[in-house]
Amino acid sequence: MNAVVATDLVLSYGATIAVDRSTFAIPAGGVTAVIGPNGSGKSTLLGAIAGLIEPRSGTIEVPARAKGPHRVAYVLQTTKVNEALPVTVREVVLMGRFASAGAFGRVGRSEDRTAVEEAMDRVGIAELANRHLAQLSGGQRQRVFVAQGLAQDHDLLLLDEPLTGVDITSAQAIDEVIHDETRRGCTVVMTTHDLSEAQVADHVVLVGGRVVASGPPEQVLTEEHLLDAYGLSLLHVDQGQVFLDDPAHTPVEGRHLHGERKA
């Protein structure tokens, strides 16, 4: 069973092609890492899966969206919040329930409050519930928006570089949530610049202006495919080991996504 199936998919912004013709599938369950250099189309691809970007041509099928748009939770890499708004962490996480409530639904029911409290607890921000966003660190804010996505009833969780540039405490909390989501039967698709994250994912989509390869890490993250996506300027091979000289690749010291990947 697949969570996403794309056929001859082309994505663009006006006349500019962001992702050229690509055919690929993302399996349901587990973690899929979407990796590629800056400007390669990773976030654009995530937006198309979320239903926010219409294909220029081709098709993209996402069964979770057929159940309703709220079944896909999308957490952006950077979410802008007006610092002047007196909004608390709890109120931001509660916004994740709006999609599930529908246009005429009411948020604030006992099930909404339970979902919000559980989501905050899962990412370790329950003690911050009454704090203003302006009082939080960047990593804490990222956990707040991940919690907002978790509070939404969903089958598919999309995360745009959730571990980039955050402190180790936040990275570990988000990492554990990603792992826990798959145990709960959810499919997680996350973009990343970190080769080590992609190597331990269950499935990898390598992007370089198009989907260069899609499949298990050992089949996708080959020297040939990486050279195609990154080019000679960013790809280096030393004694059989492949290294990426990508300025956006800033892994957090001391953590490694998911530990060991299941065989």
pLDDT in tens, 88-123: 999 999 988 887 665 445 666 788 999 999 999 999
| Cα separation of the two ends of the chain | 19
Q: What is the pLDDT confidence band of residue 76, given thresholds at 50, 70 and 90? A: confident
- Distance in angstroms (rounded) separating the CA atoms of residues 115 and 221: 37
pLDDT score of 261 more than 70: no
Cα 143 from Cα 145, distance rounded (Å):
5
Please report the pLDDT score of residue 252 as a whole number. 47
Look at the alpha carbons of 166, 73, 200, 225 in this order and tell me if their dihedral is positive or negative.
negative
Q: Is the pLDDT of residue 253 over 50?
A: no
Confidence of residue 225 (pLDDT cuts 50, 70, 90): very high
Identify the burial level of 87 via C-beta atoms within 10 angstroms of its C-beta, where 0-12 means exposed, 13-18 middle and 19 or more buried: middle
Please report the pLDDT score of residue 237 as a whole number: 65
Q: Which CATH superfamily is domain 1-67+156-167+185-247 in?
A: P-loop containing nucleotide triphosphate hydrolases (3.40.50.300)
How far is the C-alpha of 194 from the C-alpha of 189, rounded, in Å?
Answer: 14
Q: For the segment 38-61, what is each residue's pLDDT rounded down to a tens digit?
A: 999 999 999 999 999 999 999 999
Q: Which residue(s) pair with 72 in the sheet?
A: 156
Task: Give domain limits for the chain.
Answer: 1-67+156-167+185-247, 81-154
104 HSE (CA, 13 A, CB side): 0
